[in-house]
């Protein structure tokens, strides 16, 4: 599709495309993947340690310990974002720091910090969930769809 479109381009446009392709910085994909793997893995290991902490010292089972663990991880990432540490981790780890639930905390607080000059109500309050809002919306919607499929399978499929 892209190649067909390129054939229709003028000669100058094609030359510019070649020049652009020659000079653009190549993305270190393998390096980025490794960094994301390491950072994501470390974040998940910390999460696992927190889950074991809740299970061992409090009255939580493996299943119920998930809720306080998620809350703690989000809280920690919010604090780190406020202190400016999480930004550095994100610069190094990329998707490895954005995909775990800590990325949600980072998205909320970074938007709040960015808009604080616009006031507490219209600035912080109005823009806090600018990024995280889509996470909540699509998270809730996909949970609804999955629950619907599961219910249908269990009720009618006999699983």
Partner 1 sequence: MKHFIFFFTFLFVFSACQQNDMVDPTLEQPTKINYSTKNAPFNQKVAKKAEEIAESYDGVPKAISVNTDRKLLLAFQLDHMKRFQLKQKEKTIEKKLKKSFRDYDVTVSSDMKIYWETEKLINKLENLDKREMNKKVENIIQLSREET
48 sits near partner 1 (criterion: CB under 8 A): no
Residue 88 host element (H or E)? helix 85-93
Shortest gap between Cβ of 31 and partner 1 (angstroms)?
6
Count of all residues that appear for the chain in the document = 159
Cα 96 to the chain's mean position, in Å? 8
Shortest gap between Cβ of 150 and partner 1 (angstroms)?
13
Q: How many angstroms separate the first and last alpha carbons of the chain?
A: 43
DSSP conformational letter for 117: G
Tell me the helices (H) and strands (E) count for the chain, helix number first. 9, 0
Residue 150 host element (H or E)? helix 132-152
55 sits near partner 1 (criterion: CB under 8 A): yes
Residues 98-157 that bind partner 1 (CB under 8 A): none
Shortest gap between Cβ of 41 and partner 1 (angstroms)?
9
Q: In this complex, which beta carbon is closest to partner 1, that of residue 41 or of residue 119?
A: 41
Contact mark string toward partner 1, 64..103, x via CB under 8 A: xx-x------------------------------------
Q: Which residues of 7-44 are buried (b: 16+ CB within 10 A; e: fewer)?
A: eeeeeeeeeeeeeeeeeeeeeeeeeeeebbeebbeebb
* Part of the chain binding partner 1 (CB under 8 A), chosen from 11-19, 55-63, 119-127, 146-154: 55-63
Shortest gap between Cβ of 143 and partner 1 (angstroms)?
15
Q: In this complex, which beta carbon is closest to partner 1, that of residue 52 or of residue 120?
A: 52
Q: Under the rule (CB under 8 A), what is the footprint of partner 1?
A: 30-31, 34, 37-38, 55-56, 59-65, 67
């Amino acid at each position: 599709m892209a190649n067909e479109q390129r054939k229709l381009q003028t000669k100058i446009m094609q030359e510019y495309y070649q020049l652009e392709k020659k000079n653009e910085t190549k993305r270190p994909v393998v390096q980025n993947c490794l960094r994301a793997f390491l950072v994501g893995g470390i974040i998940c290991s910390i999460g696992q340690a927190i889950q074991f902490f809740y299970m061992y010292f409090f009255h939580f089972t493996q299943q119920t310990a998930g809720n306080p663990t998620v809350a703690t991880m989000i809280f920690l990432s919010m604090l780190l974002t406020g202190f400016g540490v999480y930004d550095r981790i994100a610069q190094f780890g990329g998707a490895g720091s954005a995909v775990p639930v800590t990325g949600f905390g980072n998205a909320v607080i970074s938007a709040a910090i960015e808009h604080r000059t616009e006031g507490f109500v219209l600035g912080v309050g109005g823009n806090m969930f600018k990024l995280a809002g889509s996470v909540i919306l699509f998270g809730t919607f996909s949970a609804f769809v999955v629950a619907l499929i599961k219910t249908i399978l269990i009720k009618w499929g006999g699983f």
